[in-house]
């Protein structure tokens, strides 16, 4: 019983976790994050080319992922280079993929 109480989530934490999973529920965002796991850092034009999508659509998805703290960027001149925000994102992607492949 004590272990169950330790793992009970409060409303704020459960909402934040649900929001995180919502971010990961989009196929385009998953593909984009997967690219960044493999490549570590990419510019919008390279991501758009790799996913055969327009740069504006990719920019939109990157804004969403940045707001969720899943990706970060750095500026180099006029170009923005995107990477995963931290190692937790890599772990989320790897563990999710491992779970899917087990089935």
Contact 65, 33 (CB under 8 A): yes
Residue 6 has pLDDT above 80, yes or no: no
Q: Computed over its alpha carbons, how large is the radius of gyration of the chain?
A: 16
Class of the CATH-defined domain 2-102: mainly alpha
The predicted-structure confidence for 35-93, as pLDDT tens digits, reads as follows: 999 999 999 999 999 999 999 999 999 999 999 999 999 999 999 999 999 999 999 99
- Contacts of residue 48, defined as CB under 8 A and 6 or more positions apart, other chains included, come to 54, 55, 57, 58
In the three-class reduction of DSSP (H, G, I as helix; E, B as strand; rest coil), residue 40 is classed as: coil
Name the residue ranges covered by the structural domains of the chain: 2-102
Local structure of residue 55 (DSSP, 8 states)? H
Contact 8, 55 (CB under 8 A): no
């Amino acid at each position: 019983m004590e272990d169950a109480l330790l793992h009970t989530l409060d409303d704020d934490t459960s909402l934040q976790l649900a929001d995180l999973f919502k971010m990961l529920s989009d196929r385009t965002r998953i593909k984009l994050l997967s690219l960044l796991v493999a490549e570590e850092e990419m510019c919008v034009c390279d991501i758009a080319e790799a996913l055969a999508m327009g740069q504006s659509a990719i920019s939109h998805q990157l804004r969403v992922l940045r707001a969720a703290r899943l990706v970060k960027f750095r500026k180099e001149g006029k170009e923005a280079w995107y990477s995963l925000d931290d190692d937790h994102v890599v772990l989320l992607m790897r563990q999710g993929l491992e779970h899917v492949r087990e089935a």
